[in-house]
C-alpha cells in the first residue's frame, strides 16, 4: 500500500516543560485543533490517555497515547472510523531551542493501493492541517488566546465587479510574502479609479496541491475598467454569484481555518460549489487601520445550486 508521510514544525517561545504538558493533556486539544475549530459542536469523549470524536464534518475516530517520553516525545495511535476507516502512527516531538521549544508534528500512514494517485495531494492536505494546528498552538501558548473565529452564511448574493489585479502562480510556501508585495503594488492604483464601496479581494484560480502551487489574482475593485492596465497588472471582471460564505475574524495567519471549514461543508453536501466561478476572499477592513484581532475576511465559495 502507498505510504504517506507528513511532517511540520514550529518554534514556540515557551519552555519545553510547559509546551509538553499542554499538548499531553487531550482536553486542551479543542483549543487549537485544526479540525475542531471547523466544527466546535463535535461530540468529544475524554478518557485516560485517549479521546474520541464524532462530528458531521470532521468524521469520527479516536486517538490514544501509545508512548510518552516526558518533555521529549509523545507517540499516538490514531484511528479514523468515518468517513472511511484507516489507521496512522502520529508523534509530537519537543526539543529545547534557547528559551523556547521546537515542536515537530509527524504522521505516517498508508492508502489503499487503488488510491495511489492521491498520495501527493493527501500529504499536502495533512501538512496544511498540521501547519494550521501548530500556528494555533503557538498563539494559544504564547498569548493565552486565539485570534480566529468563524461564522457562516448559507447564501449571499455578491454583485459583479471590475478589477485591476496582479496574477501570479507561485509555491504555496511563498504565497503569503508574494501576496503582501502584490497588494502593496496595487495600493499605487490612482484613487479616482477605485470603487470605494467594494472591498479588495483575491481570486484563487487553482490549487495544485500535488505540486504545492497556487494560482491567484490579487484584485483592486474599480468603478469602470480602464482601457489599459497599469504596468505589470491586468484588467478583469468578477461575475455576480450566489455564494456560501465563511467570515473569519482575526489574524490573516489563520485564514486557512476559514477555507478548511468551507471546504468541509461543501464535501458534506451542504451546498454545491460552482466550479466555473473561482472562489475568492474579500478583505472587509483595512489591515493598516485595524487591530489584528479585529481583521474581517470573507471566504466566498460560489454556489451552483
Give me the CATH number covering residue 119. 3.30.530.20
Please count the structural domains in the chain: 2
Do 246 and 142 fall within a single domain? Answer: no
The answer on 213 and 137 residing in a single domain is: no
- The whole-number pLDDT of residue 99 equals 92
Instruction: Please check whether residue 166 is in contact with residue 185, taking contact to mean a CB–CB distance below 8 angstroms.
Output: yes
| Segment (H or E) for 252 | none
Angle at which helix 16-24 crosses helix 119-143, to 10 degrees, equals 120
The CA distance from 280 to 273, in Å, is: 12
Q: What is the signed CA dihedral for 135, 141, 146, 147, rounded to 10 degrees?
A: -70
Cell of 5: 508521510
The last residue of one of the domains, among 146, 161, 190, is: 146
User: What range does the domain containing 56 cover?
Assistant: 3-146
pTM of structure: 0.93
Question: Tell me, what's the pLDDT at 4?
Answer: 82
Q: Which of 146, 173, 198 is the last residue of a domain?
A: 146
- Mean pLDDT, contiguous 10-residue spans, the chain (305 residues): 88 98 97 97 95 96 97 96 88 96 93 66 87 98 97 97 96 92 93 93 90 93 90 94 98 96 96 96 96 97 95
Q: Which of 35, 78, 74, 39 is nearest to 56 (CA)?
A: 39
226 φ/ψ angles, rounded to the nearest 5 degrees? -70, 165
> How confident is the model at residue 231, as a pLDDT?
87
Q: Are residues 46 and 157 in the same domain?
A: no
- Identify the pLDDT of residue 102: 98
166 and 63 in a common domain: no
Amino acid at each position: 500500500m502507498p505510504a504517506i508521510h507528513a511532517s511540520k514544525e514550529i518554534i514556540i517561545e515557551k519552555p519545553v516543560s510547559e509546551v509538553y504538558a499542554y499538548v499531553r493533556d487531550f482536553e486542551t486539544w479543542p483549543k487549537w485543533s485544526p479540525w475542531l475549530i471547523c466544527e466546535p459542536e463535535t461530540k468529544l469523549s475524554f478518557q485516560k490517555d485517549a479521546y474520541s470524536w464524532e462530528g458531521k464534518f470532521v468524521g469520527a475516530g479516536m486517538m490514544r497515547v501509545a508512548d510518552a517520553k516526558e518533555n521529549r516525545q509523545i507517540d499516538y495511535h490514531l484511528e479514523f472510523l468515518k468517513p472511511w476507516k484507516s489507521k496512522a502512527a502520529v508523534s509530537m516531538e519537543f526539543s529545547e531551542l534557547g528559551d523556547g521549544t521546537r515542536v515537530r508534528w509527524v504522521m505516517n500512514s498508508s492508502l489503499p493501493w487503488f488510491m495511489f494517485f492521491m498520495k501527493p495531494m493527501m500529504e499536502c492536505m495533512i501538512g496544511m492541517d498540521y501547519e494550521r494546528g501548530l500556528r494555533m498552538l503557538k498563539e494559544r501558548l504564547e498569548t493565552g488566546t486565539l485570534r480566529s473565529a468563524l461564522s457562516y452564511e448559507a447564501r449571499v448574493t455578491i454583485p459583479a465587479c471590475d478589477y485591476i489585479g496582479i496574477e501570479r502562480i507561485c509555491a504555496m510556501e511563498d504565497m503569503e510574502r508574494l501576496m503582501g508585495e502584490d497588494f502593496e503594488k496595487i495600493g499605487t492604483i490612482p484613487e479616482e479609479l477605485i470603487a470605494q464601496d467594494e472591498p479588495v479581494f483575491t481570486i484563487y484560480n487553482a490549487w495544485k496541491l500535488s505540486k504545492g502551487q497556487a494560482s491567484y489574482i490579487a484584485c483592486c475593485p474599480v468603478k469602470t475598467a480602464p482601457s489599459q492596465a497599469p504596468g505589470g497588472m491586468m484588467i478583469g471582471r468578477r461575475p455576480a454569484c450566489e455564494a456560501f460564505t465563511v467570515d473569519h475574524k482575526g489574524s490573516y495567519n489563520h485564514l486557512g481555518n476559514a477555507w478548511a471549514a468551507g471546504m468541509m461543508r461543501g464535501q458534506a453536501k451542504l451546498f454545491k460549489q460552482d466550479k466555473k466561478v473561482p472562489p475568492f476572499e474579500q478583505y472587509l477592513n483595512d489591515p493598516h487601520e485595524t487591530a489584528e484581532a479585529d481583521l474581517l475576511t470573507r471566504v466566498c465559495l460560489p454556489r451552483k445550486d
